[in-house]
Amino acid sequence: MKKTVRIGRVTVEGYASLAPMAGYGDAAFRSVCREMGAALTVSEMVSAKGLVYGGSVSKTRELMLPFENEGPYAVQLFGSEPEIMAEGARIAFETAKPDLIDINMGCPVPKVASNGEGSALMREPLKIGKIVRAVKDAVPCPVTVKMRLGWDRDSINAPECAKIAEASGAAFLTVHGRTRDAFYTGKSDPSEIAKVVRAVAIPVAANGDVVTGADARRLYEETGAALVAVGRGALGNPFLFREIEAVMENREFTSPAIHDKIAVLKRQVLRALDRKGEYTALREARPHAMFAVKGLRGASRLKEEAAGLETLEDLDRFIEKIGSLYP
């Protein structure tokens, strides 16, 4: 029997969620991760202001739409004004009918943090409480939060922020084990995530540096988290969710061959093509294809070809090239 985690009234079954990833975590990618065992999927981050002021046909709204039968599924919002976040949450719920609304308190990129959004919220713990409460009051589904450890190593305050989020109505937390100033460099710190787990009664997902099933098991053991959240480790390798499940259930796992990874990639691209058209789908597939061939003999040349994908025919030729190199 798979691990079960309750997030409010939502039941999540499995061992690893797919963390939100701007520019990567579209519906097509989420769909293949779900098929591979992702217990929970989360949209790319969506601007609350974009929803409130962007109009009904804006690209912002398109980011929220789930794939068919996606669930449990969360729409992640970012912003810094409680009233705007609440209205954005209402629009998100009405538009996408997600199981959860997630609040971004972890994005480190300057264009977000410089506006007081994303990870910058961890510098204003009291505002965190106001935002969580406003969003919770605005939607009928559970509200969750994604955070980092703090702004920098001298101001780690994730346990404090977690307590405030919980007291304000958050039903679940995901904690990335780095501070904002670390971005994605260095190593995630499980010991600091463990402090958050001990500080709150709601379930916590541990996030950071999970690229193998063994990494996931170690993160579980070192943090006591209810789930692990997988981000970049799944890029080019959605099979990671199957590997994590096998390791957690003490079963053998056979690593997928490159042909298996590329077959899943094509399925992902075809789904994206149905929604976005060939031009956008193939360009967005480029980094996924590069991740898929990472570490292979001749990977540099293959990455160059992946960077030039423009049509479905290009993808088929790319797949044929891989077949000739790895018969």
Could you report the per-residue pLDDT of 73-115, keeping only the tens digit for each?
A: 999 999 999 999 999 999 999 999 999 999 999 999 999 999 9
Q: How many residues does the chain have?
A: 327
Average pLDDT over residues 165-192: 96
Check 33, 107, 141, 161 and give the catalytic one: 107
Domains of the chain, with CATH numbers?
4-248 (3.20.20.70), 258-325 (1.10.1200.80)
Instruction: Report residue 55's pLDDT band, with 50, 70 and 90 as the boundaries.
Output: low
pLDDT at 56 exceeding the cut of 60: no
Residue 75 near residue 96, CB atoms below 8 Å: yes
Distances in Å between the Cα of 324 and the Cα atoms of 286, 319, 321 are 20, 9, 5
Closest CA to 203 of 170, 241, 159, 237: 170
pTM to 2 decimals? 0.94
Q: Is 107 a catalytic residue?
A: yes
The mean per-residue pLDDT over the stretch 180-199 comes to: 95
Residue 301 has pLDDT above 80, yes or no: yes
- Output the average pLDDT for the chain: 95
Residue 39, Cα to own-chain centre: how many angstroms?
12
Q: Are 238 and 211 in contact (CB under 8 A)?
A: no
Arithmetic mean of pLDDT, 197-221: 98
Angle at 102 between CA 245 and CA 90, to 5 degrees: 140
Identify the pLDDT of residue 62: 79
CB atoms inside a 10 Å sphere around CB 314? 16
Between vectors from CA 46 to CA 45 and to CA 52, what angle results, nearest 5°?
165
What is the predicted pLDDT for the residue at 151? 95
